[in-house]
Amino acid sequence: MTRRYYCSNLPPHGGEIKLDDSESQHATRVMRVKTGESVTLFDGRGYEAEATISAVSRNECWCNAFSPERIIREPATQLDLAISLPKPERCKELIERLTELGVRKVIPIVTRHTQRPPSPALLDKLNRVMIESCKQCGRNELMVIDPVTKIETFLASDEAASCRRLIAHTGQAEPLERQSSDLPLLVAIGPEGGWAEEEVVSAVEYGFQAITLGKLVFRIETAAVVAAARLIV
């Protein structure tokens, strides 16, 4: 299989380009690429370009790229997930799965029962995990991971108001079904301790529909993957 590398600044008409430090090290130290090998470069905005390795040193990898082509592999459904992220050791697989499923954006939220808000270092790591997952699955558009936001700010945001809004809740709620909507979908997933009741009430007041994922209580990462798998087409 052709190796894929992330290159945010693909030359628009083709030409010589150096991979950034992280991608260069992955290419040279992990994949051990050699001059003349074929690779695929993608810019995270829907374009990819075939290329050949033109020069390799210990810390640098240069490529000769052809003109990029717009190749979209995104699902028809635009789905954003607002998630009270789980513990750091469980975040990596969550981000991998959501990237592979085609989720457009993850919004880390802090709720009353959030145990530990994600640190900037963790978000940087998760962005790297997301890029690696895009490389593996063939996705040409990066999944966005937003900065951390408090639940009150998130609920009142204009961005949330522009979506068909759902909140996963273990109380009285309608079962989650596929949504027929011209708007992007937005699903809020609460923390391990569950939503505070006033958070659910506030969400409903802001136009969120309370939905349930089933009779069982899922971990955060399971709930997020289940919601994405059911909604994305």
CA distances from 67 to 44, 50, 64 (A): 15, 8, 10
**pLDDT tens digits in sequence order for the chain, 233 residues long:** 459 999 999 999 999 999 999 999 999 999 999 999 999 999 999 999 999 999 999 889 999 999 999 999 999 999 999 999 999 999 999 999 999 999 999 999 999 999 889 999 999 999 999 999 999 999 999 999 999 999 999 999 998 889 999 999 987 778 887 777 788 999 999 999 899 999 999 999 999 999 999 888 899 999 999 999 999 98
Which pLDDT value is given to residue 197? Answer: 94
So what's the pLDDT on residue 2?
58
Position of tokens 């028809």? 76
pLDDT at 177: 78
Instruction: Check: pTM over 0.85? Answer yes or no.
Output: yes
Cα separation, 200 vs 206, in Å, equals 10
Domain ranges of the chain: 3-70, 79-231
The DSSP secondary structure of 43-63, one letter per residue, reads -SBSEEEEEEEEEE-SS-EEE
Distance CA 15, CA 47 (A): 15
Instruction: Give the CA dihedral 132, 133, 136, 137, nearest 10 degrees.
Output: -150
Q: Which listed CATH number (3.40.50.620, 2.40.240.20, 3.20.20.70, 3.30.930.10) goes with 3-70?
A: 2.40.240.20
CA distance 183 to 112: 29
Name the nearest CA neighbour of 80 among 149, 173, 7. Answer: 149
Kindly report the CATH number that applies to the domain delimited by 79-231.
Answer: 3.40.1280.10
Other CB atoms within 10 Å distance of the CB of residue 80: 22
Determine the pLDDT at residue 90.
Answer: 94
